[in-house]
Amino acid sequence: MNDWCPDCFRRTWKNGVCSSCGFQEGKEGKNLLRLALFCKLNGRYLVGRVLGSGGFGITYKAYDLASQEVCALKEFVPRGLVNRFDGQSQLYVTSRENESDFEHGKERFMEEARILKKLEGIPEVVTVKDYFEENNTVYFVMDYIRGVNLIQLMKVYGGAIPAKEASEIICRVGNCLEQAHTRGHIFHRDISPDNIMITQDGGIKLIDFGNAKYLVSSQNKTMSPVLKHGYAPPEQYSSSGNQGSFTDVYALAATFYHIVTGTRLKPSPDRWGDDNYVPLEEQIPEIPKKCSDAVSRALILNSRQRTQGMGEFVRGMQWDGGTDSGGGSGQAGTGTSRGMNVIPYVRLAAQGKEIKWNLAPNRITRIGRSGKCADIVPGKDERMSKAHCEIYYDSILECFCLVDISTNGTFLKGHKLEKGKIYGLKAGERFAIGKDIYVMEVGIET
Amino acid sequence: MKGAMEKDVVTVRIFEEDKIALGISSIVGTRKNQEDSIYGHVEGGNAIGIVCDGMGGLQGGEAASNAAVESLAEAWYGQKDIGDIPEFLKNQAVAADEKVFYLQNEKGEPLRAGTTIVAVIVQDKKLYWLSVGDSRIYLIRGNEILSVCKDHNYRLTLDEMLRSGRITEEEYAKEEGRAEALISYLGMGDVSLMEINKNPFMLENRDIILLSSDGLYRSLSEQEILQIVKECGEDMQKAASELTAQALGEKVSGQDNTSVVVMQVQYS
């Protein structure tokens, strides 16, 4: 292993420097609890350098010998409770009293893996590839994301991200969170610019679901580790605070505020009376009032008075041609995404009618009977629900995602879809409202 | 006066009345507004004391602390016989929380203000208390002083996290700058974290109960507070005024609103 680089895993390591990627020895700082470099886990993962560590665990860069891919490996290491001896891999609990805390902690840690597994299909969420137990602790393996986080992106732009681009990024993250909230019943609880990454191919990844919790769980009121001051709403400072989707709403709005002005908000407990809060429209003229108001409402300190749902926040954030309720046939909004040069659409193919609706990429579009509840109204048949199904085009995966939310069902290839589950469709494929009430086809135009 | 009757002999026995001496004081300190509100009332051997420390910019803090004091004081005043006092205090805390939550400014917009509250009720030598936030209730008996409630601030959360191993000592130290942030107060709309003693504290002759907003204990140590109170003997009003004066005297600038309600029970 002498010539293996702990960062890129190429065999170009010599004299403490890698000639391929430039990684240098000593760059990551000393971490006394870390696994030995290049030890092998689960029979396939080679442990590389430390990417980060916190109160709960250590994240390493790793190499999957089975798939020959670089990945990220997260290990559960609760600092107050365990120790590891030099050269050994086993983790030891430091005292008998800590045993049960350690067991509980392992369970909670694995919940992050389970949460991510549950959110599979949402493009902005990191994929969990594997999880296992070893060395008396637990691990899970994720895609290694190459890209920059929003803090780094701000630096690239000289201090603040241009408003339009920033709002598109935030809306993308907001849509992802809305799905996590409504479909996975999960909220993130740690949204900040360093948890949002722009990948090399222009996509967006939301990382570090380590604080995430199931909404329905009775563990709702558990504590979070050290907070992100400036993004965390007041309810996160208390171990008995009620947290919910509105917690993520605040954090996302605070993130937008920061990336677009270059200045972080004061920690929420210090924001009494909002005396010094300057609305965005007063700081950045190009931001429309509607968007500035949406942010102000999302930053209300009191969780009961704040914007409750991510969907509402995102709708307020949208700049041009946002999909406000009252849509019908026609353009369902514009929004662009990096690297986009296709126009996805959905069309009604039946009864001599040819109606086509263009879709905004990566934005959830509703199909149903009511103009108030849906963006696309194929017709008025009573058997179709007011909001029957949702569809969006994922520009990274390059496929359509369909979700049934109806009374009578949505059908794909004759099979009734499981309500709430995300199904993928390729361009040219068809699905039906009800068994055959309206037959819709998806496609893309270049 | 209580009397006892025996057949055709009327015997009137005069009991020494329980007495409660009361003192109150409230100063603005170096701030622009007074956002504290206080109330103290004695009726025979029973008493109520309330201190509320409001926050919310412009007139918000003042309105919030006022609303909370009025809410509780009126409820206590209006009830002939309260019955279960801890239950009463809990219900009143929730009621005051709602009232503050729904306060509006002149434009009819939500005021978005809040307030702490410390309140004590003395009835038949029994002491009951309520606390939401970081104002304090001290008991002074002889040469000892004791703060009876936890401060509802971020430090409470940090202590729990440290104890359960979720954070390390270094992380705790890093977070300490934020430790004073309030985590529970009236005006949240769904307040749940509050201190109320289910079992009454039995008072003894010459026990002193001191309620204060954080302006006091951020300027004076507990020993200093004890000393000042003792020096005033049985004059509770003097004690109250001395406490606020000395709290102000400690600082040239940056003295918060400081309010105290102090009472001494005198039983024979």
The per-residue pLDDT for range A362-380, each reduced to its tens digit, is 778 889 988 778 888 888 8
Per the CB < 8 Å rule, is B166 touching A302? no
Helix H or strand E encompassing A159: none
User: What token pair was written down for A153?
Assistant: 């992106």
Note whether A157 and A260 are within 8 A (CB).
no
What's this model's pTM, rounded to 2 decimal places? 0.71
In a domain, B4, yes or no: no
The values of phi and psi at residue B153, to 5°, are -135, 180
Chain A residues with CB under 8 Å of B167 CB are 55, 80, 225-226
- With an 8 Å Cβ cutoff, the interface of chain B facing chain A consists of 55-58, 60-61, 101, 110, 112-114, 152, 154, 156-157, 160-162, 164-168, 171, 174-175, 178, 181-184, 187-190, 192-193
Per the CB < 8 Å rule, is A272 touching B56? yes
Is 90 exceeded by the pLDDT of residue B84?
Answer: yes
* Maximum pairwise Cα distance, chain A: 75
Which residue of chain B comes nearest to A77, CA vs CA?
Answer: B166
The pLDDT of residue A126: 83
Which residue of chain B comes nearest to A273, CA vs CA?
Answer: B56
**Shortest alpha-carbon distance between residue B240 and chain A (Å):** 29
The pLDDT of residue B252: 66
Out of A223, A238, A273, whose CB is closest to B58? A273
What's the domain count of chain B? Answer: 1
In a domain, B179, yes or no: no
In a domain, B257, yes or no: yes
In a domain, B153, yes or no: no
The pLDDT of residue B167: 75
Whose tokens are 């509607």? That residue is A290
List, for residues A159-169, the tens digit of each pLDDT value.
999 999 999 99
The pLDDT of residue A328: 27
User: What token pair was written down for A356?
Assistant: 């086509």
Nearest-angstrom CA–CA distance, B78 and B72? 10
Helix H or strand E encompassing B81: none
Is 70 exceeded by the pLDDT of residue A189?
Answer: yes
In a domain, B167, yes or no: no
Which residue of chain B comes nearest to A79, CA vs CA?
Answer: B168
Nearest-angstrom CA–CA distance, A293 and A85? 54
Which residue of chain A comes nearest to B115, CA vs CA?
Answer: A272
List, for residues A244-277, the tens digit of each pLDDT value.
899 999 999 999 999 999 999 999 988 886 668 8
List, for residues B107-161, the tens digit of each pLDDT value.
888 888 999 999 999 999 999 999 999 999 999 999 999 999 999 999 999 998 8
User: What token pair was written down for A382?
Assistant: 């009573």
Rg (CA), chain A: 24
In a domain, B155, yes or no: no
**Mean of the per-residue pLDDT values of chain A:** 84
Q: Which domain holds residue B98?
A: 10-147+185-265
Out of B55, B110, B165, whose CB is closest to A78? B165
Nearest-angstrom CA–CA distance, A146 and A207? 12
Which one, of B4, B31, B46, B72, lies nearest residue B215 by Cα?
A: B31
- Of residues A317 and A349, more confidence is placed in A317
User: What token pair was written down for B175?
Assistant: 């977070």
CATH of the domain at B200: 3.60.40.10
Of A51-55, A64-68, A286-290, B48-52, the range with the lowest mean pLDDT is A51-55
Nearest-angstrom CA–CA distance, A145 and A125? 11
Q: Judge whether A55 is closer than 8 Å to chain B, CB to CB.
A: yes
Out of B113, B157, B164, whose CB is closest to A273? B113
CB atoms within 10 A of CB A260: 25
Note whether B2 and B44 are within 8 A (CB).
no
Residue A208 — left, alpha, or beta (φ > 0 → left; ψ -120 to 50 → alpha)?
A: left
Kindly state the average pLDDT of the residues B24-29.
92
Q: CB-hemisphere CA count at 13 Å for A63?
A: 17
- Of residues A210 and A191, more confidence is placed in A191
Q: Confirm whether the ipTM is greater than 0.90.
A: no
Is 80 exceeded by the pLDDT of residue B12?
Answer: no
Out of A227, A274, A304, whose CB is closest to B189? A304
In a domain, B118, yes or no: yes
Amino acid at B240: A
In a domain, B46, yes or no: yes
Query: CA dist B92 to A224, B104, B267, Å?
Result: 31, 20, 29
Nearest-angstrom CA–CA distance, A119 and A179? 8
User: What token pair was written down for B61?
Assistant: 């803090």
Which residue of chain A comes nearest to B179, CA vs CA?
Answer: A237
Chain A, 403-442: which have a CB under 8 Å from a chain B CB? Answer: none
User: What token pair was written down for A281?
Assistant: 């429209």
Is 60 exceeded by the pLDDT of residue A325?
Answer: no
List, for residues B176-222, the tens digit of each pLDDT value.
989 999 999 999 988 989 999 999 999 999 999 999 999 999 999 99
Kindly state the average pLDDT of the residues B39-44.
91
